Amino acid sequence: MALEAEKRAKEAEEHLAAGRTEDAIAACREAIAIQPDCLPAHVCMAHAKLPGDDFLAHLARFHETLRPRVYLEIGVDVGRTLSLAKPPTRAIGVDPGARGGRVFAATTMLFTLESNVFFQSGEAARALAGEAVDLAFVDGLHLFEQALRDFQNIERYAKPGTVALFHDCLPLTAETATRRRATSFWTGDVWKIAPILRELRPDLTIFLVPTYPTGLLVVTGLDPRSRVLEERMDALIAEWTPKPWSDGEVSAEPPVPLVPNDWAEIKARARLAPPA
């Protein structure tokens, strides 16, 4: 089965290289139907459905445009995204499994803690030293309730103009959108935060960028005074935990506005401006 899936994935890659996008997607689906954890097929489908600049390119542009004084990242891993911060930004990375050894251009503090502990223990307040978060990127546990808690905690340190970004909010297949990881290419159920925020927080500006590999959710208009998520958290977890991903089609109506994968469009929608 694995060999047959790899064969279909190879065919998909050839279709995509030749510009036959729909044929590529169809071949990817065939490969995944044979072997749900066929990584080349998932990667090829993501490239086929989400063409253009990837999320790293856009994250770098957020840094270049905002020139944040303080950048906070939840989910550091090897430091690839944290390293996008440049002086004079002060970067703060939080990840219990963060791997050291990387040299960062910006002044960087790395906390090998779970994000809940980072915020609740007082480490966040000490690290921020009275400053607000200008730009935050959340790419942690891949579970919606943790992403919501991270947003709730980040928002308490927000100010006008703060931008929060979330990875993994646009899964392309049901196989990769489960709460329990069963595939190498995996988004978890972080996608749920988009409809939750849209419903409970109409005061926020929220939009989704279809960028490789799993989309980028942009949230602005944060309000440190809001306690809506805190008050509703238990009910939200009970309501949303059992809900499966049912429609992975980018062409379908998304849970939040879908902005083209174009920096000019993203910048205009987010109304970006450097900190005052």
Rg for the chain (alpha carbons), in Å? 19
Which pTM value belongs to this model? 0.94
244 belongs to a structural domain: yes
64 belongs to a structural domain: yes
Residues 96 and 127 in one domain: yes
Residues 6 and 63 in one domain: no
Domain range for residue 26? 2-49
At residue 168, the pLDDT reads: 95
Residues 86 and 172 in one domain: yes
At residue 254, the pLDDT reads: 59
At residue 249, the pLDDT reads: 44
At residue 247, the pLDDT reads: 57
Would you call 96 exposed, middle or buried from its count of C-beta atoms within 10 A (0-12, 13-18, 19+)? middle
Residues 67 and 87 in one domain: yes
Residues 123 and 161 in one domain: yes
Residues 38 and 59 in one domain: no
How many domains are contained in the chain?
Answer: 2
**pLDDT tens across the length of the chain (276 residues):** 678 999 999 999 999 999 999 999 999 999 999 999 999 999 999 999 999 999 999 999 999 999 999 999 999 989 999 999 999 999 999 999 888 778 899 999 999 999 999 999 999 999 999 999 999 999 999 999 999 999 999 999 999 999 999 999 999 888 899 999 999 999 999 999 999 999 999 999 999 999 999 999 999 999 999 999 999 999 999 999 999 987 544 434 456 789 999 999 999 999 987 776
Looking up residue 146, the CATH number of its domain turns out to be 3.40.50.150
195 belongs to a structural domain: yes
276 belongs to a structural domain: no
275 belongs to a structural domain: no
At residue 101, the pLDDT reads: 72
At residue 250, the pLDDT reads: 42
